[in-house]
Structure 1
Amino acid sequence: MNKIEVIFEQTPPAVKIRANNAVTELPALWLRERTQDPLQLDSNTQQRLFDSHAIDPEILLLTVEPVVSNQAWLEFNDGHRALYDFSFLRDELDDDSAFPHVVGWNSQIDQASLRFEWPEMSDNEHFLAALGAYLKYGIIILRNVPTDSERILEVAQKFGYLKETNFGRYFEVYSKPNANDLAYTGFHLGPHTDNPYRDPVPGIQLLHCLINETSGGLSTLVDSVSVVSELAAKDPEGYQLLKNIPVKFRFIDKGTELVTNRPMINTDAQGRTLGVQYSPRLDGLPLLPVEQMKAFHRARKHLGELFCDPAYEIRFPLRAGELMLINNSRVLHGRTSFDQSQGRRHLQGCYLDLDGPRERYASTQFQLQKLEEPA
C-alpha cells in the first residue's frame, strides 16, 4: 500500500481512505477502538486504559470536525469525543511488513549472503544485517566465534531468549556410547527439524563447532518454504493432507517421554508456508481410511524426496569457530556420515524462542533511526 489519502465527510459523518485507487469507509467501531485520547490510551506503553471489547457493536459516528489534512475531532454516540491523528494508518493498513520478507531459496543461493563475522555483531549496522538475513532466509552462519565451552550461550543471548529443555541449557554433540539420539553417533542424519514432539517446538537452533578433525560430517540445509511450494504445485491433494492431518511425534528417553500431535506443514492465516515439523525417526503414520492413508503416505514420501533433492540442498563443512543459527521450523538440517577414527568432532547446541530475532531487529532498527535524527 503506497499512498493513503484520508477523506473527511461531515454529512453524513464518515472517515474514508483512498489507497490503491480504491475508497474504503472506516467503520465507527474500528475508529472508536483506536482512540488516541490520553485518558483512554497510555502515552508510554500505547496500551488501552479501557476495555475495547465492551464497546457497543452498533456504535455510531455522530460528528467529524476536520482540523488539518490528517487530523479531525470525532464524536461517537457513546459520548466519546477525541482528536484523531490519522498518521497511524500506514502502520495499521500497510501490507508491507516492517520486517524483511521471507525469501525461499534452493541450492543456488549465494552462501556468502548467509555468513557474518561474530566480532562485528557489537556494531548495530552489522547486527541488523545479520538479523535481516536470518529473517529472510531462516539461517545465518557466524564465523570467528571463540571455541571455549559455553560461548554459545553468549551468542544465544545476543540473538534472543534461551529455551531450556530436558537436554539442558545447552547440549554437547559428539559420539558417545549408548547414545540416546543418532546425533551423538557418526551416522548420516537426513534432513529434519528438532524436537517436533515438544509443545511448543523450539523455534531456533544454534550449533557451534568447537572441534572438527574429520573430512566427513558435512552440514546439510534445506529450505522448507521452497520445497513445500513445489509439493503444493505438483500434488495439491497431498499438500492439503499434510497441512491438515496431525501426526504423532514421540520421543522416549530414560525418565522422559514427550508426545504431541501436529500437522507436518505449518501455514499462516494467508496460507503462506511458515515451516514444517519433519523427522522420519520420530513420527508415526496416522490411522486413516486405507485410500486416504496411502495418499497421505505418498505425499509424505514425495516431501521427503524433495528434502533430499540436491536441487534444494546446500552442504558445507562446519569448521571450528563457526556457528549456525537456524529457524528450526523452516530450515531442515542434517549431516553426512563421518569416520570417528579420523579425529574428534565436537559441537555444542542450544535453542531459542522464535521471536527473539524479530524483537532484536525492531529494537536495533529503532536505535539506528534515533541516531540518524537531527539533534
Structure 2
Amino acid sequence: MQPISRRYTFLIHEQPPAVVIEDGGLSHELSPLWLRERTQAPDQLEAMTQQRLFDSHAIDADLTLVRAVRVGEQQVDLTFSDGHRETYDLSTLANELGETDLFPAAEPWDASLAPQQMRFDWNRVLNDPAYFQASLDAYMRRGYIVLYGVPTDPERILQVGSHFGYVKETNFGRYFEVYSRPSGNDLAYRSVALGPHTDNPYRDPVPGIQLLHCLVNETTGGLSTLADSLKVLEQLRQEMPDGYELLKQIPVRFRFVDAGTRLVTQRTMIQTDDDGYPTGVHYSPRLDALPLLSDAQTRLFHRARQRLGELLADPAYEVRFALGAGELMLFDNSRVLHGRTSYDSNEGHRHLQGCYLDADGPRERFASLLKTHASIEEVA
C-alpha cells in the first residue's frame, strides 16, 4: 500500500539513541516498546497476514534502545536491549502513525447540501472500481448516498448490501418489507409520518448502516428525510453545553417488544469515539426512557433531548426528497437520522425493502480498493 501520510519528519539521535517525529512543529519521541512491537523482520511478522509471530505482550517493560543509526533517507538501523537488531523503513512507520488518514474525514452538512452530489449510478458502482471508490468516499464524508438505476426485482437489496459490506440479520430477517399494513410490528409499517430517528437503538450492537430500496411509489407523500447529527450536535453543544454533556455521559434505556421479541439495552444518546468526539446519536422517542437522576438533572436532560429533537427536525438541517422506484438510499444509522412524511395509501402502492449492514463494510471496501490500486501502480 502507498504511504498514507507524508507529514511526519523523522529525527534520529545517536546519543542517547532515540527516534523522534516532528508533526506540525510538535516533537514526540517514539517509545522503544512502540518501535519494537512494530518490527518488520520476516522472522517476527508473517508477510501475508501482517500478524506477529511472537507475543508482543511478553516484551520486557524496561526495554531500551542501545543503538540508532540512520541508513539513507528512508531507513534507520535500531538495536534494542533484548538483542533484537533491525533496519526499519521509515515510510512504514509513517503509515503506522497515520493509519486513520487512509479514510476521508467526516464533513458535517445541513440543508444547503446539494443532493445531486450524493447520487450515484448503481450500474457504474457495480462495474467501475474508481466510481465505486468515489461513492464510498462520499458516504464516509457525508454519511449517506443515494443509488439510482437499481433493479426492483425481489432481494436485489441483498446484492447491493453485499457490494458495500456485510448484511446483518435481525429479528426482522435478512431484509424487511416496508409498506402499510395494520398488523405490522413497527410504526414504519404504517402510513403515518415518522420523525427523525435511528433504527434499533435497543440492539447490541446497533446496526451500523441501513439501506432502503424503493420498489414502488405511487403516492405523492411519503417523502424521505435525512439529517446529519454531527452538524446538529455542534449547535446543541453551543446552546446547551451542560445538557450536551448529560446526553453524552448518562445512558438511557431503549426497549423493543413485540409478540415474539423483547430487546432491552442501556446506552448514551450521544455516541462518541475513543477520544470523546461525537460520531452520531442513538435517538428514537418511541423507544427510550428517561434515566433515574435528580429532579434538576432530569429536567436538564429532558430539555437537552427535547432541543436535540427540535434541531433534528429543523428544515435548516434536513434534506427531503421523494425516493422513486429503483432508487436506494444507504446511510450511517447512527450519524444520519432518517424519517418520512405521512402518505395516503389510497393514492397507490408504496413499497420499500430495507436491510442493515455492519458499520465497517464500506471502510474495508475502500481500503481494499486503495490496496488494489497501489498494487497495479507497483506492477506498472
TM-score, L = length of structure 1: 0.97
Task: Please state whether the residue corresponding to 1:340 is helix, strand or coil.
Answer: coil
* Higher mean C-alpha displacement, 21-30 vs 251-260: 21-30
The residue identity in structure 2 corresponding to 1:278 is: Y
Listed one character per residue, the Cα deviations across residues 154-193 of structure 1 (whole Å, up to 9, x for unaligned) are 1011000010000001000001122211111110100000
Determine the structure 2 residue equivalent to 1:229: 234
Determine the structure 2 residue equivalent to 1:348: 353
Determine the structure 1 residue equivalent to 2:275: 270
Task: Please state whether the residue corresponding to 2:57 is helix, strand or coil.
Answer: helix
The residue identity in structure 1 corresponding to 2:350 is: R
Task: Please state whether the residue corresponding to 1:342 is helix, strand or coil.
Answer: coil
Give the unaligned 5+ runs of structure 2.
none
Aligned length, in residue pairs: 375
Task: Please state whether the residue corresponding to 1:141 is helix, strand or coil.
Answer: strand
Determine the structure 1 residue equivalent to 2:201: 196
Distance in structure 2 (CA, Å) of the matches to 1:160 and 1:176: 30
* Higher mean C-alpha displacement, 49-58 vs 308-317: 49-58
1:82 aligns with 2:86: yes
Determine the structure 1 residue equivalent to 2:109: 105
Distance in structure 1 (CA, Å) of the matches to 2:42 and 2:230: 44
Aligned 1:118-197 pairs, distance under 5 A? 118-121=122-125, 122-197=127-202
1:18 aligns with 2:22: yes
Cα distance change of structure 1 residues 109 and 123 upon mapping to structure 2, 3 Å threshold? same
Measured after TM superposition, the shift of residue 17 of structure 1 is 2.6
Determine the structure 2 residue equivalent to 1:331: 336
Measured after TM superposition, the shift of residue 71 of structure 1 is 1.8
Tell whether the 8 Å contact from 1:204 to 1:328 is kept in structure 2 after alignment. Answer: yes
Measured after TM superposition, the shift of residue 9 of structure 1 is 2.5
Distance in structure 1 (CA, Å) of the matches to 2:350 and 2:70: 70
Distance in structure 2 (CA, Å) of the matches to 1:349 and 1:19: 45
Structure 1 stretches of at least 4 aligned residues deviating more than 6 Å after TM superposition:
none
**Percent identity of equivalent pairs:** 58
Distance in structure 2 (CA, Å) of the matches to 1:334 and 1:172: 16
Measured after TM superposition, the shift of residue 7 of structure 1 is 2.4
Measured after TM superposition, the shift of residue 374 of structure 1 is 5.3
Listed one character per residue, the Cα deviations across residues 16-59 of structure 1 (whole Å, up to 9, x for unaligned) are 23332343322222211112221111122211111111111111
Listed one character per residue, the Cα deviations across residues 93-142 of structure 1 (whole Å, up to 9, x for unaligned) are 23861111101011110101110011111100110111111111111000
* Higher mean C-alpha displacement, 360-369 vs 251-260: 360-369
* Higher mean C-alpha displacement, 75-84 vs 272-281: 75-84
Listed one character per residue, the Cα deviations across residues 66-99 of structure 1 (whole Å, up to 9, x for unaligned) are 3323323211111212222212232222386111
Task: Please state whether the residue corresponding to 2:315 is helix, strand or coil.
Answer: coil
The residue identity in structure 1 corresponding to 2:105 is: H
Q: How well do the aligned residues superpose, as a CA RMSD in angstroms?
A: 1.4
Tell whether the 8 Å contact from 1:249 to 1:284 is kept in structure 2 after alignment. Answer: yes
